[in-house]
Structure 1
Amino acid sequence: MILLTLICVLISLAVVAVAVLWHRFAPAQGALAHEKALYAGFVADVDRRLAAGDIDADAAHEEKTEAARALLKAGDHLTTPTVKPAVGVAVIAITAALAFGVYMLIGHPGLAGQPFKDRLTRWTAMAQEDPDSVPPEVMVAVLRQGEAKNGGDPQYWLMIGRFQTWSGNTYEGMKAYKRARAMSPQTFNEWSALGEAITLTADGNINAEAVAAFEQALKLDPKDARALYYLGRHQVAIGRFDEARTSFRTALASTSPDNPSRPAIEDELKAVDVEEAASTAMKTRITGMVAGLEASLTSDPENADGWARLLRSYDVLGDAAGHARAEADMKAHYKARPQVADAILAKSQQAVGAEVTQ
């Protein structure tokens, strides 16, 4: 803390020093502008007298030169009054003393912090008086007080799961939902909430467990907007674009106009066309590549890498029949060398470029 205080004082000194230098050497803009205006007026008068023949060109030049020298001299001397360094030092000393006094009063390491029990008592009173004013993480702490008494009630864990998820602690939220499900699997109906917690815990990835939860939710309520939203995203990811549109549209139909989640559903519905166009373009490129690979392998069936790329391409296209046909042709060619065929199959299952990192 001493080091921190010293650093703060040094920074304050630097700021005051900069301010002092600025005030010491900064031009007095108002006075300088006045001098420039006088100079311009004088030059204009010289030009008028020269045009009228009252003075000759040499005299006019000499008068303008003297006026310019006077302006430069005025600019050199027009500065703001110097700030006394003692004033800055005094300000710093007073500020540092006040800060140190406040710190010793309310922030000294030797002073005990406010006991958690006292804070919890205050939070409990707030939750009882106005639950909506209590942050989710605080509400979790309040609810945890009743775990010994209510820990055997599935509804208790559903509330814990809800507030944990809202607070951003999705892993604990997921665990609480699963605990409620395990206690009463026949009556558990928070499937879409569970699926959402699973998805958020997986950084937004809608895995098989989450999909199963959302599908179960829709069995209970075909208009569950949350389940439809996440399933729609999953359907886009696996290329089932028409199903995704249906999911998003049904979700919108089940959502009130003022629901805060509605814009997100609308954005996902608009994005389906873009995703479908991109997917179609990719499949077109891959189809062309497949045709080229097939022609190449017909003339050169010893190209093991080519067989692996062909099989992988069929997987990307979702063409199971094409994959089966190509695999049969490859195995027929390597009938006498099954180990080569096995290596090709293994390589075809790797992500593109994976062999480079091995």
Structure 2
Amino acid sequence: MFLLILTCVLICAALIALVVVWQRTRRAQPGLAQEKALYAGFIADLDRRLTKGDIDDAQAQEERTQAARALLKVSEATTESGQAKPLHGYIALGLIVVLSATLYLFVGHPAQEDQPYKKRLQAWTSLAQKTPDVLPPQAMAAVLRQGHQAHAKEVGYWLFLGRIDMLAGNNYDGAQDYEKARALAPDTFTAWSELGEALTFVGGGTSGPEAKQAFEKALKLNPNDARAHYYLGQQALADGQYEVARGHYNAALNTMAPNDVSRPQVLEALKSIDPAETAARAMSGRISGMVASLEAQLKADPENADGWARLLRSYDVLGNTAARAKARAAMQAHYVNRPEVIADILTKAQTRVGSEGAAK
């Protein structure tokens, strides 16, 4: 205890000493230095004018007096604004150190009791042993995680912990749990399927490449995995692959029990395909009409740089890579001697369709 107090006092003294040194060695205010330089220049010019006879002695004395008064005012203002109150600073610094040491003595000293979290964890553990159903997922996850070393090689432990973490909203922890289960049993389709779901949640609801790979692996191990079919259907729907999405949703429904709680969600996703496909076809039709109009305009006026950008962008949306390559080649051939225009067109072609007006 004495050593701790002595250490705090020494730290406080060292900080105060540093402040004192800084106060004594800090430089003059730059504003005052600038005014002094201007004053010296003014006096030199005043002496030159007096020597040439441009002004008499009385006028020179008056101007010299006014300049000196102005410099004095600047000096006083700078001193007042820059003057520190070191005593107040030292007192505040000392109080901070003392309060910090006091706080540590009450809540952080090694001799004190354990933090409240450990007591809560003990209470949760006791409750989990008696009535686990009443324990919230967050608390249950904390209780189960205590056994991560004793059950490190058990697939079932990591799968169950992963499900609890997902219920608790610990999506990243859940993904880590399923990854451990997958590593222990790479031929268990559930580990792959639940890993893909966790990765989808980590990605904000989007199945990235890793999640998609996990779902595909799950289906290879078990073609009737409804979870994998559902999420792959979601990804296909987002990519505009409507038939693929229908296939996955129907496969999921065929493997689900009539009373499965997830069945309405899959049915709703299946119903959403038709309006999405209709809207996509309408958009494609509008874009195709715009493309035809742009092609005609560019044939008549190839100097329409914005038209070339919209044409390339439209081909990107339609997914017509061959037509886009042909249009780009025609555009580059027209602007072959103006590479800066080509670069500008290609940059504009990367913007979102609809951000510019339709072709006139």
Is the shorter-chain TM-score for this pair beyond 0.5, marking a shared fold?
yes
Which secondary structure does the structure 1 equivalent of 2:272 belong to? helix
1:219 equivalent in alignment to 2:202: no
**Which residue does 1:319 correspond to in 2?**
320
Q: Return the alpha-carbon distance in structure 2 between the equivalents of residues 299 and 232 of structure 1.
A: 45
Structure 1 window deviating more from structure 2 (337-346 vs 176-185): it is 176-185
Is the alpha carbon distance of 1:231 and 1:132 closer, same or farther for their aligned partners in structure 2, counting shifts above 3 Å?
same
**Which residue does 2:288 correspond to in 1?**
287
Q: Return the alpha-carbon distance in structure 1 between the equivalents of residues 329 and 183 of structure 2.
A: 47
Contact map agreement 1:192 1:227 (CA 8 A) in 2: yes
Q: Return the alpha-carbon distance in structure 2 between the equivalents of residues 268 and 245 of structure 1.
A: 9
**Which residue does 1:88 correspond to in 2?**
none
Is the alpha carbon distance of 1:205 and 1:187 closer, same or farther for their aligned partners in structure 2, counting shifts above 3 Å?
closer
- Shift in Å at residue 140 of structure 1? 0.7
Q: Return the alpha-carbon distance in structure 2 between the equivalents of residues 127 and 283 of structure 1.
A: 57
**Which residue does 1:231 correspond to in 2?**
232
1:270 equivalent in alignment to 2:275: no
Pairs within 5 Å for 1:127-276? 127-182=128-183, 185=186, 189-276=190-277
**Which residue does 2:329 correspond to in 1?**
328
Is the alpha carbon distance of 1:346 and 1:179 closer, same or farther for their aligned partners in structure 2, counting shifts above 3 Å?
farther
**Which residue does 2:343 correspond to in 1?**
342
Q: Return the alpha-carbon distance in structure 2 between the equivalents of residues 219 and 324 of structure 1.
A: 37
Q: Return the alpha-carbon distance in structure 1 between the equivalents of residues 348 and 155 of structure 2.
A: 48
Which secondary structure does the structure 2 equivalent of 1:147 belong to? coil
Pairs within 5 Å for 1:6-17? none
Q: TM-score, normalised by structure 1?
A: 0.62
- The residue type paired with residue 287 of structure 1 is S
- Shift in Å at residue 130 of structure 1? 4.4
Residue deviations 1:275-333, cap 9 Å, x none? 11111111111111111111111111122221111111111111122112211211221
Which secondary structure does the structure 2 equivalent of 1:148 belong to? coil
Contact map agreement 2:233 2:244 (CA 8 A) in 1: yes
Contact map agreement 2:121 2:142 (CA 8 A) in 1: yes
Which secondary structure does the structure 2 equivalent of 1:295 belong to? helix
Q: TM-score, normalised by structure 2?
A: 0.61
Percent identical residues: 52
**Which residue does 2:108 correspond to in 1?**
none
Please list every run of 5 or more consecutive structure 1 residues that lacks an aligned counterpart in the other structure.
1-111
Q: Return the alpha-carbon distance in structure 2 between the equivalents of residues 304 and 184 of structure 1.
A: 58
Residue deviations 1:141-175, cap 9 Å, x none? 11111123233545433332221111112122123
Is the alpha carbon distance of 1:354 and 1:157 closer, same or farther for their aligned partners in structure 2, counting shifts above 3 Å?
farther
Is the alpha carbon distance of 1:161 and 1:354 closer, same or farther for their aligned partners in structure 2, counting shifts above 3 Å?
farther
Is the alpha carbon distance of 1:224 and 1:188 closer, same or farther for their aligned partners in structure 2, counting shifts above 3 Å?
closer
Residue deviations 1:224-268, cap 9 Å, x none? 111111111111111111111111111011111111111100100
Q: Return the alpha-carbon distance in structure 2 between the equivalents of residues 323 and 295 of structure 1.
A: 15
**Which residue does 1:304 correspond to in 2?**
305
- The residue type paired with residue 175 of structure 2 is M
Q: Return the alpha-carbon distance in structure 2 between the equivalents of residues 258 and 218 of structure 1.
A: 23
Please list every run of 5 or more consecutive structure 2 residues that lacks an aligned counterpart in the other structure.
1-112
Which secondary structure does the structure 2 equivalent of 1:302 belong to? coil
Which secondary structure does the structure 2 equivalent of 1:256 belong to? coil
- The residue type paired with residue 198 of structure 2 is A
- Shift in Å at residue 188 of structure 1? 7.1
**Which residue does 1:109 correspond to in 2?**
none
Contact map agreement 1:229 1:251 (CA 8 A) in 2: yes
Contact map agreement 1:180 1:188 (CA 8 A) in 2: no
Contact map agreement 1:235 1:241 (CA 8 A) in 2: yes
How many pairs are equivalent?
244
Q: Return the alpha-carbon distance in structure 2 between the equivalents of residues 122 and 348 of structure 1.
A: 61
